[in-house]
Amino acid sequence: MTAKLLAGRRVLAIGSALPDLAQGPLEGAIVTTGGLDRLIGVGAADADLLIIEADSWGGAALAAGVQALALCAAPPPVLLVGANLPTAVVRTLLRLERSDVLEAPFSNENLAAAVAHLMTARAAPAAAAPAPSGDIARCWAVTGAVGGSGATTIAIEIANQLCVRTGKDKSVCLIDLNLADGSAAAYLGASPAMRLPDLARAADTLDHSMLQAFATPLTKQFDLFSAARDPQAFESIPPEAILRLLEVACETYQWVIVDMPRHRRAWSVQALSGCDEVLVISELTVPALLAARSLSDEIERAIGSGRKPRIVLNRVAGRMFGPAPSLAEAERALQRKAEGGVSSDWEAAAASVNLGGPIATHRPKSKIVKDVQQLVERLAGEAAQRDGQTTRAA
Ligand SMILES: Nc1ncnc2c1ncn2[C@@H]1O[C@H](COP(=O)(O)OP(=O)(O)OP(=O)(O)O)[C@@H](O)[C@H]1O
Ligand SMILES: [Mg+2]
């Protein structure tokens, strides 16, 4: 596909290892090579595509080259590739209208896909990164009362339902803050794109463009923010960087769903205080219900706004077998009403994680989908009502 796209197109390769690509993923293109100085004043007359190999250059020289490119009136589309991609360079580059970054190691297919995307972006500039929405998003946090209660599963389904509800491009994101071992990316069959060393350095600098470098687009509407497993992650990321990530995401998307770690971190209370809703997911066992009650009380006390987390019962069986508590017994143990129940459907849940994607995609008729849809409708409806009341009061 790229051979057709690139037939006769002029690719200017800035780096020493790139000419070999002319026989591979850049087949069909007229590839010339040059130094970083070629980026000064470069325009459509010089090349149809720029590929910059970051590892061929020192950090300062690369930064200066990309800065020069940013000053050009109408630079060609540009792809930055390499193993060492300095954050500042990536930020400058991603501000350009047609730009992308590919982290090494990458396959010929990865490179071909990135090139194809850039070359077609010319005809479809509207597919560029979303502009900040101007409004502050609704942010809902989802956390489990006990391990494995279904927080990630429900967070994914909620985000997916919100995409259906809004129908707008780039309107919903899911942020997996289980930084050490989050499973949202694996459940969605996606590759994590949030590089933790970059996030750690970004407390003061993270902005809308950089946020896009951390996003894994899942559909036209739905972006995922997640990092590769890292046992040191919680120790290595300053709280300010996490809070900044949430803040910028809320300025960019209409809905932000956060998969929150169960154990409290230095930033947990502040993050939860900024959320419009906190959903505590419990299963229907006595220990889980007791844990849900105390976690919910703890969160309520810590955020101190009088807002109560909502408890959602997951894996509710249509007909109870064995000594599982009934809904009434569950609510007695919780000492409050549950916000809703999500049916148990192991086949649908397992099929979706194995295929990679929301249950609504792979098993749209599952009761899980209907239950989450009702939950979302109710919560989003209440939020809209509150907004209406605030507007009238003002
Ligand atoms: N309603 C449901 N019916 C059947 N299986 C479910 C349901 N919800 C979740 N599961 C399954 O339960 C398991 C645990 O779910 P999940 O990973 O979402 O829980 P979690 O609370 O995020 O776990 P962790 O504590 O590891 O973060 C997964 O195998 C998932 O597919
Ligand atoms: Mg989880």
Residue 228 domain flag: yes
pLDDT, tens only, 261-300: 999 999 999 999 989 999 999 999 999 999 999 999 999 9
Q: Residue 172, exposed/middle/buried by CB under 10 A (0-12, 13-18, 19+)?
A: buried
Q: Residues 200, 313: one domain?
A: yes
Residue 133 domain flag: no
Q: What is the pLDDT of residue 390?
A: 54
Q: What is the pLDDT of residue 124?
A: 40
Q: What is the pLDDT of residue 97?
A: 81
**CA 10, 44, 169 angle in degrees (round to 5)?**
100
Residue 305 domain flag: yes
Q: Residues 197, 277: one domain?
A: yes
Q: Residues 146, 55: one domain?
A: no
Q: Residues 176, 291: one domain?
A: yes
Low-confidence ranges of the chain (pLDDT < 70): 1-5, 18-23, 121-136, 318-323, 387-394
Q: Which atom of ligand 1 is nearest to the CA of 353?
A: 31
Probe residue for ligand 1, chosen from 142, 152, 316 as the CB with the greatest number of ligand atoms within 8 Å: 152
Centroid of ligand 2 to alpha carbon of 211 (angstroms) = 22
Taking alpha carbons only, the member of 175, 207, 201, 203 closest to residue 188 is: 175
Q: Which two tokens stand for residue 10?
A: 């002029």
Q: What is the pLDDT of residue 323?
A: 65
Distance CA 268, CA 272 (A): 6
Q: Residues 146, 114: one domain?
A: no
Q: Which atom of ligand 1 is nearest to the CA of 262?
A: 25
List the beta bridge partners of residue 256: 139, 173
* 372 touches 154 (CB < 8 A): yes
Q: Residues 301, 340: one domain?
A: yes
DSSP 372: H
Residue 144 domain flag: yes
pLDDT, tens only, 16-51: 776 666 667 788 888 888 899 999 888 888 888 999
Q: Which two tokens stand for residue 382?
A: 């209440």
Distance CA 334, CA 145 (A): 12
Probe residue for ligand 1, chosen from 143, 149, 153, 295 as the CB with the greatest number of ligand atoms within 8 Å: 153
Instruction: Give backbone dihedrals phi and psi of 78, rounded to 5 degrees, phi first.
Output: -135, 135
Instruction: Kindly state if the Cβ of 345 falls inside 6 Å of ligand 1.
Output: yes
Q: Residues 199, 264: one domain?
A: yes
Q: Residues 109, 142: one domain?
A: no
Helix (H, G, I), strand (E, B) or coil at 58: coil
Domain boundary (92, 127, 162) is at 127
Q: Residue 134, exposed/middle/buried by CB under 10 A (0-12, 13-18, 19+)?
A: exposed
Q: Residues 107, 148: one domain?
A: no
Residue 182 domain flag: yes
> Domain range spanning residue 7?
2-127
Residue 132 domain flag: no
Domain boundary (127, 157, 186) is at 127
Instruction: Kindly state if the Cβ of 360 falls inside 6 Å of ligand 1.
Output: no
Q: Residues 165, 117: one domain?
A: no
CATH code, 319: 3.40.50.300
- Domain count within the chain: 2
Q: What is the pLDDT of residue 123?
A: 41
Residue 239 domain flag: yes
Domain boundary (127, 150, 182) is at 127
Residue nearest to atom 9 of ligand 1 (CA): 150
How many beta carbons lie within 10 A of that of residue 80, not counting itself? Answer: 25
Q: Residues 112, 144: one domain?
A: no
With 0.85 as the threshold, say if the pTM is over it. no
Centroid of ligand 1 to alpha carbon of 145 (angstroms) = 12
Q: What is the pLDDT of residue 268?
A: 95
Residue 281 domain flag: yes
Instruction: Kindly state if the Cβ of 148 falls inside 6 Å of ligand 1.
Output: yes
Distance CA 222, CA 163 (A): 7
List the beta bridge partners of residue 30: 10
Centroid of ligand 2 to alpha carbon of 325 (angstroms) = 24
* 104 touches 83 (CB < 8 A): yes
Q: Which two tokens stand for residue 280?
A: 């505590």
Centroid of ligand 1 to alpha carbon of 151 (angstroms) = 7
Distance CA 377, CA 372 (A): 8
Q: Tell me the DSSP string of 321-355.
A: -SSPPPHHHHHHHHTS--SEEEE--HHHHHHHHHH
* 45 touches 66 (CB < 8 A): no
CATH code, 86: 3.40.50.2300
Q: Residues 255, 380: one domain?
A: yes
Q: What is the pLDDT of residue 104?
A: 86
Helix (H, G, I), strand (E, B) or coil at 253: coil
Q: Which protein residues have their CB within 5 A of the ion that is ligand 2?
A: 151-152
Secondary element (H or E) of residue 278: strand 277-283
Distance CA 359, CA 89 (A): 38
Residue nearest to atom 4 of ligand 1 (CA): 346
Residue nearest to atom 31 of ligand 1 (CA): 349
